[in-house]
Amino acid sequence: MLNLKDPSLLKQQAYVNGLWCDADNGETIPVTNPATGALLGTVPNMGAEEARRAINGANAAFKAWRGLLAKERSAILKKWFELMLANSDDLAAIMTAEQGKSLTEAKGEITYAASFLEWFAEEGKRIYGETIPTPAHGRRLMVTKDPIGVCAAITPWNFPSAMITRKAGPALAAGCPMVLKPAAQTPFSALALAELAHRAGVPSGIFSVVTGKASAIGGEMTANPIVRKLTFTGSTQIGQLLMRQSADTVKKLSLELGGNAPFIVFDDADLDAAVEGAMASKFRNSGQTCVCANRLYVQDKVYDAFVEKLRVAVQKLHVGDGSIAGVNQGPLIDQNAVAKVEEHIADAVAKGAKVELGGKRHALGHTFFEPTILSGVTQAMNVAREETFGPLAPVFRFHSDDEVIAMANDTEFGLASYFYSRDIGRIYKVAEQLEYGMVGINTGLISNEVAPFGGVKQSGLGREGSRYGMDDYLTVKYWCVSGI
């Protein structure tokens, strides 16, 4: 079982309006370790009623929180940030146990997650307005920014901490309360964050965590007119549903949805660097991130050499329980995730792709899967259209720049994209033509707290992190002062 320095960080109750509580009906849902199948504990199986209570509590707490000086809110957020770092070993252990990623990656995520609290603690002090030169005598025009109001957040299991702080950081810094529903698979990371928020001095009602029935809680969050903003990270399908449900109350939405990232290697690329980037982008979190390379396009001349170098690198990956030292590929989150990878491989092979490495469930059982490389992959295969969300690297062949740009853009998604080239003209041309919210050039790692993360097309709305991330939690008020 979990051996924590501070066992009080493992909470098996929800945190609503400053109180740890159970579901009204006493029901619970189990949380298991995907590496072993072992039961880690339970959390309350709450529904609409508890969500409504949290929303009402947030509304009651809103006025006092927005009334604080930005500097005062900043001090609390900084304390929360410091507590995350001080407890990073325990937070990482909880994350690895419920999510499966390696301890090294989990520690990296805690640092990354905490960085959003620090960044927005600072940015909150810089929510500047504007004065506009008047078009008429006797008038003064200005613009101020207000916190949007009560925010609801729904987060996924693949980044159990960072997807929360990336939303709560700007919301709280802007003066908004937040009610969060974490993913059912990874509630303990969220509840540990709530405990640290409490210790940091975040007032009751300003950050509540409601665990339980996704559709009931999500239904209340979207239907309730008190909620002025909904922020969601997850699948495009659920994002569309939440958008539809939010229409009646015209909520502001931030949606970080699916991706189908192209990773293009041109024939002038530094191949070793490209392989290193592909490994980082493709196999991080066992391929379970929305910015993971999903389609590797490699130019004809360097295709064979790239596949060979990739094979050597992938063979060095160590699959196992993420809590074991040296392991860098944990299990997939559940059997559905495994089934999807199997389906993509079977479809590709049936249509002529070749398995270069891996290709099947791992001998360790559970939800472990062999890191896999497919060559000879074409646009006709499902993997070209759908996000795999697993450790599968499908390698496509291309000939010309125009051809690969067309293939890369041939998707309804537009989150992350990557390419490797050393030709400055090509770099500008390709970066300008890729229809994506983010472009990594000669790198496979692009996420950090200071840069705007987000997509175009059906990958979503809004940006998280960076100074743009604050805008999503603010409204613009125009003042027209007359009679002067």
Interface residues with ligand ADP (CB under 6 A) are: 154-156, 181, 183-184, 214-215, 218, 234-235, 238, 241-242
Write down the least CB distance from residue 390 to ligand ADP, Å: 12
Q: Which two tokens stand for residue 115?
A: 């960085």
Alpha helices (runs of H) in 15-145, residue ranges in sequence order: 48-67, 70-86, 88-99, 103-123
Q: Which two tokens stand for residue 331?
A: 């299990």
One-letter amino acid for residue 437 of the chain: G
Our CB check for ligand ADP shows the closer of 359 and 454 to be 454
Write down the least CB distance from residue 115 to ligand ADP, Å: 22
User: Is residue 473 within 8 Å of 147, Cβ to Cβ?
Assistant: yes
Which residue's beta carbon is nearest to the bound ligand ADP?
Answer: 218
Alpha helices (runs of H) in 180-297, residue ranges in sequence order: 187-200, 214-223, 236-246, 271-283
Our CB check for ligand ADP shows the closer of 79 and 252 to be 252
To the query of whether residue 256 is one of the catalytic residues in this protein, the response is yes
Write down the least CB distance from residue 340 to ligand ADP, Å: 10
Write down the least CB distance from residue 184 to ligand ADP, Å: 5
**Which residue has tokens 């299991």?**
157
Q: Which two tokens stand for residue 262?
A: 């192209």
Q: How many CB atoms lie within 10 A of CB 16?
A: 25
Our CB check for ligand ADP shows the closer of 288 and 299 to be 288
Measured CA to CA, the distance from residue 175 to residue 203 in angstroms comes to 12
Packing angle of the helix pair 88-99, 187-200 (nearest 10 deg): 160
- Please list the helix, strand and coil fractions of the chain in percent, rounded to the nearest 5, in that order: 40, 20, 35
What beta strand segments (E) does 387-437 contain? 392-398, 416-420
Report the half-sphere exposure of 45 (CA within 13 A, side-chain side).
Answer: 9
Our CB check for ligand ADP shows the closer of 147 and 187 to be 187
One-letter amino acid for residue 66 of the chain: R
Please pick, among 118, 220, 256, 387, the residue that the annotation labels catalytic. Answer: 256
The secondary structure of 154-181 as a DSSP string is E--SSSTTHHHHHHHHHHHHHT--EEEE
- Give the C-alpha distances (Å, rounded to integers) separating 386 from 381, 412, 455: 9, 10, 16
Q: Give 136's contacts (C-beta < 8 A, 6+ positions apart).
A: none
Our CB check for ligand ADP shows the closer of 175 and 259 to be 259
Our CB check for ligand ADP shows the closer of 203 and 219 to be 219
Alpha helices (runs of H) in 316-381, residue ranges in sequence order: 335-350
Write down the least CB distance from residue 242 to ligand ADP, Å: 6
Write down the least CB distance from residue 229 to ligand ADP, Å: 15
What's the angle, vertex CA 256, arms to CA 252 and CA 262, rounded to 5?
A: 145
Our CB check for ligand ADP shows the closer of 119 and 283 to be 283
Our CB check for ligand ADP shows the closer of 76 and 238 to be 238
Strand, coil or helix: what is 461? strand
Write down the least CB distance from residue 447 to ligand ADP, Å: 17
Write down the least CB distance from residue 155 to ligand ADP, Å: 6
What are the residue numbers of the active site? 256
